[in-house]
Amino acid sequence: QLSTPQASPERVPSPEEQQWAGPEALCPGWLEDEAPDGEVPGDSGDPDGATHAYERLQSALCQEGLPPTLDCSAEPRTGSGPLDMTVCILGSPIPFLPVLLEGGTRCPGAMVLCLSPSWASRVPSESCPGAWSLLLSRGVSFKVGGHSALESFVPPRRANYVTGTFAPGDPEGGWVGELARDLDCPTGGSVPLAHRLEDTLVTRWVLAAHANLPVPPTLAFVLGTRGDLPAQPAAPGVRLVRLQDPQGQQSLVQEE
Can you tell me whether residue 123 is helix, strand or coil? strand
- The model's pTM: 0.67
Can you tell me whether residue 127 is helix, strand or coil? coil
What is the Cα–Cα distance from 178 to 156, expressed in whole angstroms?
19
Q: Is residue 30 a contact partner of residue 116, using CB atoms and an 8 Å limit?
A: no
Per residue in 169-220, pLDDT (tens digit) is 665 558 999 999 999 999 998 888 887 778 888 888 877 877 888 888 989 8
Query: In sequence order, what are the residues at sequence separation of 6 or more whose Cβ sits closer than 8 angstroms to the Cβ of residue 108?
Result: 8, 9, 10, 142, 143, 144
What is the Cα–Cα distance from 52 to 66, expressed in whole angstroms?
19
If you write DSSP's letter for every residue of 186-205 in order, what string do you get? -BS--HHHHHHHT-HHHHHH
Give the β-pairing of 132-142 and 111-114: antiparallel
Q: How far is CA 65 from the centre of its chain?
A: 23
b (16+ CB within 10 A) / e for 119-140: bbebeebeeeeeebbbbbbbbb
Average pLDDT value for residue range 23-47: 40
* Domain extent listing, the chain: 50-188, 199-243
Per residue in 59-114, pLDDT (tens digit) is 999 999 999 999 999 999 887 766 679 999 999 889 899 999 999 999 999 999 99
Q: Cβ–Cβ contacts within 10 Å for residue 108, how many?
A: 18
Q: Is the pLDDT of residue 23 over 70?
A: no
Per residue in 115-139, pLDDT (tens digit) is 999 999 999 999 899 999 999 999 9
What is the Cα–Cα distance from 138 to 113, expressed in whole angstroms?
9
